[in-house]
Amino acid sequence: MTGVGSLVRLILRRDRVILPLWAVLLGLVPAGYVASFEGLFPTVAERLDYARVSATNAGFVTLYGPLEGSSLGELVAWRAGFLPVLVALCAVLTVVRHTRADEESGRTELVGAAAVGRHAQLAAALLTTAGASLVLGAVLTAAMVGQGMPVEGSLAFGAEMALTGWAFAGVGAIAAQLTSSARSARSIGLLALGVAFVLRVGGDTSALSDGALSWLSWLSPIGWVQHLFPYGANNWWPAVLAIVFSAGTSAVAAVLLTRRDFGAGLLPARLGPASASAGLSTPFALAWRLHRGLLLGWTIGFALLGLIFGGVGGSVLDIASENQGLSDIFARLGGSEALVDSYFAGTAGILGLIAACYAVQATLRLRDEEQSGHAEAVLTTAVSRYTWAGTHLLFALLGPAVVLAAAGLATGLAYPQGDLGTILAGTLVQLPAVWVLAALAVLAFGLLPRLSAVAWAAPALCLLILLVGQTLQLDQWILDLSPFTHVPHLPGGDISATPLVTLTVVAAALTAAGIAGLRRRNIPD
């Protein structure tokens, strides 16, 4: 373990921007829900009515998890039920970034030439991610206590998020040992996260009926942490499962590290043909080959999200019609139809922000190609920098249109009471804002290639503004920092071409500046 401390400091230095974004900002998000629930359901009776209907609604249970009580704290913790998925995603990506990605780029070989133990880099990545998860839990606990929530429940709430990060840090560590590619390691980690989420959903929704498959929740780390039930039962024993799982996966990753060659993965790499087919004879064909798997995976994921959001939209109407107390509340908010329109406009914003993450990821594929040396090999041919970058950016700009269309269609089909065209328009209208964030990634890649990862700060900031901006009543200039603030809210709102055109022009200008920077700098840099 020689050199672990130095490597931890190096990781903290490299991630000084990215790490605080998820370790601190995600911890502050649930605090914004407190004021929201207090405003919507100010009395105990109203919260009880809302909890009684929500706890038995399959759509809400699918999205947020099980709800056991009706107190303000329990409602807040339940509403933050999707947050563990985001924490798990950050943990997986952080570990893979500082293990397999560094090994693939050659940084590990350079570091290993010094007085560094073989397990030092893996240990440093796990310790840093576990520490960041612990900071997230501490921030969340302090924020909830500051909102007047009970201390024990706040500790359990913070532990829920911290333990999620610990568990999936181990998953990311194992994924990094299985393959020689950082991209494949991320895919394996995300697949494991998807399986965990599906198991949790299957078990919790089964518990609403005969409970025959409710045991599936206990096969998922996400299911374990959500069964802590902060502010209610405060069950601490599921935390033992998460801790044992974290220690076990970390130990397995350490053993697997000794069973493979440096630079290789345990899963054998598939050898390609000796010569390229005619289908790879153009830069666009090569870009399609590199992006098609990513595009397909995101499209399927967005379609599934659309089905979930559409199903929950029907649940909103059910709640309004089945409970007189809640009907009165919804009437004060503009009626159930207005509430449904507001719901779909909100989910469209969420889908747009997630699509922006896809756009940033697709854009930063340019940096991956540059660091791996593939770009240099392509550019030694008759391919210009404009052509090489343009073929990749085609997927970064048009790929979000494909995934948003899939989500909009799935949402509209899952909610037959609504207008499919209006729901689809609400998702597609997010495109100009998505393009702005993609353009910021192009700008970072073109002008500051070594700091390209800072492009992820823009989606993180937009996420924070989306989740808590209105709830915390932030100043309008802060809300305006997010391009999604300027997008027309559909369905239910008025559409205007001016903000859409303005956002598109801004995206075009930023992209042009990034491409100009790419033309003038060295490759690789």
Distance CA 352, CA 482 (A): 12
Q: Is 272 left (phi over 0), alpha (psi -120 to 50) or beta?
A: beta
pLDDT(210) > 60: yes
Quick one: how many helices (H) and strands (E) in the chain? 25, 0
- At residue 333, the pLDDT reads 43
Q: Look at 423 and 107; give whichever has higher pLDDT.
A: 423
Task: Answer whether 196's CB lies under 8 Å from 218's CB.
Answer: no
Distance CA 277, CA 196 (A): 38
Contact at 8 Å (CB) between 77 and 30?
yes
- Average pLDDT, rounded, for the chain: 84
Query: Does residue 435 carry a pLDDT above 50?
Result: yes
Mean pLDDT of the 6-32 span: 84
Each residue's pLDDT tens digit, 128-148? 999 999 999 999 999 999 888
Give 214's DSSP letter.
G
Q: Where are the domains of the chain?
A: 1-32+82-266, 282-525
- The per-residue pLDDT for 332 is 47
- Residues with Cβ within 8 Å of 4's Cβ and at least 6 positions away in sequence, in order, are 117, 120, 123, 124, 127
Question: In this predicted structure, what is the pLDDT of residue 324?
Answer: 53
Residue 17: what pLDDT? 78
**What pLDDT, on the 0 to 100 scale, is given for residue 471?**
57
pLDDT at 322: 53
Number of CB atoms found within 10 A of residue 268's CB: 9
- Residue whose token pair is 């206990």: 218
If pLDDT is split at 50, 70 and 90, which confidence band does 292 have?
confident
**pLDDT tens per residue, range 237-285:** 999 999 999 999 999 999 998 888 877 787 776 666 666 666 677 888 8
- DSSP letter string, 420-487: HHHHHHHHHTTHHHHHHHHHHHHHHHHH-GGGGGGGGHHHHHHHHHHHHTTTTT--HHHHTTSGGGGS
pLDDT at residue 462 is higher than 90 = no
pLDDT for position 132: 94
- Residue labelled with tokens 């920098």: 385
Name the residue with higher pLDDT: 421 or 237.
237
User: For the segment 331-349, what is each residue's pLDDT rounded down to a tens digit?
Assistant: 444 445 566 777 788 788 8
Average pLDDT over residues 100-108: 80
* pTM (whole model) above 0.95: no
Q: Average pLDDT, stretch 475-496?
A: 80
Cβ atoms < 10 Å from Cβ of 322: 13
State yes or no: pLDDT of 201 exceeds 90: no
- The pLDDT tens digits of the residues spanning 70-91 come to 888 899 999 888 889 889 989 9
Q: Is the pLDDT of residue 320 over 70?
A: no
Largest Cα–Cα separation, the chain: 72
Which H or E run includes 371?
helix 365-372
Instruction: Write down the pLDDT at residue 279.
Output: 66
Residue whose tokens read 């913790």: 77
Query: Beta-carbon neighbour count of residue 395 at 10 Å?
Result: 23
